[in-house]
Structure 1
Amino acid sequence: MTTMDAILAGKYPAKSHARRVAELLKEHEHDAPSIIYLEAQKTRFIEDNDESMPFRQRRFFYYLSGCLLPDSCLIYDVNADKLILFIPPIDPEEVVWSGLPLSQDEALKLYDVDTVLATTEVNATLASIASTYGANAAAFAIADQVSNGIKFQGFARTNLSVLKGAIEKSRVIKDRYEIALLRKANDISAKAHIAAIKASKTALNECEIEGAFIATCIANGAREQSYHPIVACGENGATLHYGKNDDGLIDPATKIRKKNVLIDAGGEYRAYCSDITRVFPLGGKFSMETRQIYEIVLQMQTECIAMLKGDVQWEDVHVHAHRVAIKGLLGLGLLRGSEDELFEKRISVAFFPHGLGHYLGMDTHDTGGNPNYEDKDSMFRYLRVRGRLPAGSVITVEPGIYFCRFIIEPFIKSPELSKYIDTDTLERYWGVGGVRIEDNIHVTKEGYENLTTAPKVIEEVEALAL
Structure 2
Amino acid sequence: MATVDAILAAKYPGKAHARRVAQALKTQDAGAIYLEAQKTRLIEDNDEAQPFRQRRPFFYLTGCPEPDASMVYDIKADELTLFIPPIDPDSVIWSGLPLSLEEAAKLYDVDHVQYTTDVNGTLAKIASAQAGKTAAFAIGEQVSSDIKFDGFAQANLTDLKKVIEDARVVKDAYEVALLRKANDISTKGHIAIAKAARAATNERELEAAWLSGCIANGCREQSYHPIFAGGANGATLHYVKNDEYLVDQETKQRKGNLLIDAGGEYRSYCADITRVVPLNGTFPTETRQIYEIVLRMQSECIGMLKEGVRWDDVHAHAHRVAIKGLLELGILKGGEEELFEKRISVAFFPHGLGHYLGMDTHDTGGYPNYSDADKMFRYLRVRGILPAGSVITVEPGIYFCRFIIDPVLNDPETGKYIDAAVLERYWNVGGVRIEDNIHITKDGHDNLTSAPKAIEEIEALAQ
- TM range, normalised to the smaller chain? over 0.9
Q: Deviations over 1:142-199 (max 9, x none)?
A: 0110001111111110000000011001000000000000000000000011111222
Measure the CA separation in 1 of the matches of 2:135 and 2:158: 13
Structure 2 partner of 1:259: 256
Gaps of 5+ in 2: none
Note the 1:66-465 alignment, pairs <5 A.
Answer: 66-465=63-462
Percent identical pairs in the alignment equals 71
3-state SS, counterpart of residue 328 of structure 1: helix
3-state SS, counterpart of residue 83 of structure 1: strand
Measure the CA separation in 1 of the matches of 2:69 and 2:330: 60
8 Å Cα contact 1:197-1:209 kept in structure 2? no
Q: What is the RMSD computed on CA atoms of the aligned residues?
A: 0.7
Alpha-carbon offset, residue 92 of structure 1: 1.0
Measure the CA separation in 2 of the matches of 1:343 and 1:202: 41
Q: Deviations over 1:339-368 (max 9, x none)?
A: 011111101001000000000000000000
8 Å Cα contact 1:217-1:267 kept in structure 2? yes
Measure the CA separation in 2 of the matches of 1:126 and 1:20: 21
3-state SS, counterpart of residue 261 of structure 2: strand
Measure the CA separation in 2 of the matches of 1:268 and 1:115: 28
Q: Deviations over 1:215-255 (max 9, x none)?
A: 10100000000000011000000000111110000011211
Measure the CA separation in 1 of the matches of 2:70 and 2:104: 13
Kindly provide the amino acid, as one letter, of the partner of residue 204 in structure 1. Answer: T
Measure the CA separation in 2 of the matches of 1:448 and 1:132: 46
Gaps of 5+ in 1: none
Measure the CA separation in 1 of the matches of 2:150 and 2:453: 58
Kindly provide the amino acid, as one letter, of the partner of residue 181 in structure 2. Answer: K
Measure the CA separation in 2 of the matches of 1:310 and 1:295: 28
Note the 1:46-65 alignment, pairs <5 A.
Answer: 46-65=43-62
Measure the CA separation in 1 of the matches of 2:409 and 2:292: 25
Measure the CA separation in 2 of the matches of 1:294 and 1:200: 18
Counterpart among 21, 24, 28 of residue 30 in structure 1: 28
Measure the CA separation in 1 of the matches of 2:326 and 2:40: 52
3-state SS, counterpart of residue 190 of structure 1: helix
Q: Which moved more, 1:90-99 or 1:288-297?
A: 90-99
Alpha-carbon offset, residue 30 of structure 1: 3.3
3-state SS, counterpart of residue 310 of structure 1: coil
8 Å Cα contact 1:272-1:361 kept in structure 2? yes
3-state SS, counterpart of residue 393 of structure 2: strand
Measure the CA separation in 1 of the matches of 2:385 and 2:128: 44
Structure 1 runs of 4+ off > 3 angstroms?
A: none
Alpha-carbon offset, residue 381 of structure 1: 0.5
Measure the CA separation in 2 of the matches of 1:30 and 1:124: 23
Measure the CA separation in 2 of the matches of 1:266 and 1:452: 11
Structure 2 partner of 1:20: 20
Q: How many residues align?
A: 463
8 Å Cα contact 1:310-1:446 kept in structure 2? yes
Measure the CA separation in 1 of the matches of 2:198 and 2:315: 35
Measure the CA separation in 2 of the matches of 1:374 and 1:427: 33
Normalised TM-score (structure 1):
0.99
Alpha-carbon offset, residue 135 of structure 1: 2.1
Measure the CA separation in 2 of the matches of 1:203 and 1:314: 39
8 Å Cα contact 1:210-1:231 kept in structure 2? yes
3-state SS, counterpart of residue 135 of structure 1: coil
3-state SS, counterpart of residue 114 of structure 2: strand
Measure the CA separation in 1 of the matches of 2:198 and 2:275: 16
Q: Deviations over 1:383-418 (max 9, x none)?
A: 000000000000000000000000000111101111
Kindly provide the amino acid, as one letter, of the partner of residue 224 in structure 2. Answer: Y
3-state SS, counterpart of residue 87 of structure 2: coil
Measure the CA separation in 2 of the matches of 1:61 and 1:309: 30
Structure 1 partner of 2:36: 39
Measure the CA separation in 2 of the matches of 1:231 and 1:239: 11
Kindly provide the amino acid, as one letter, of the partner of residue 209 in structure 1. Answer: L
Measure the CA separation in 2 of the matches of 1:328 and 1:131: 67
3-state SS, counterpart of residue 425 of structure 2: coil
3-state SS, counterpart of residue 459 of structure 1: helix
Measure the CA separation in 2 of the matches of 1:389 and 1:431: 36
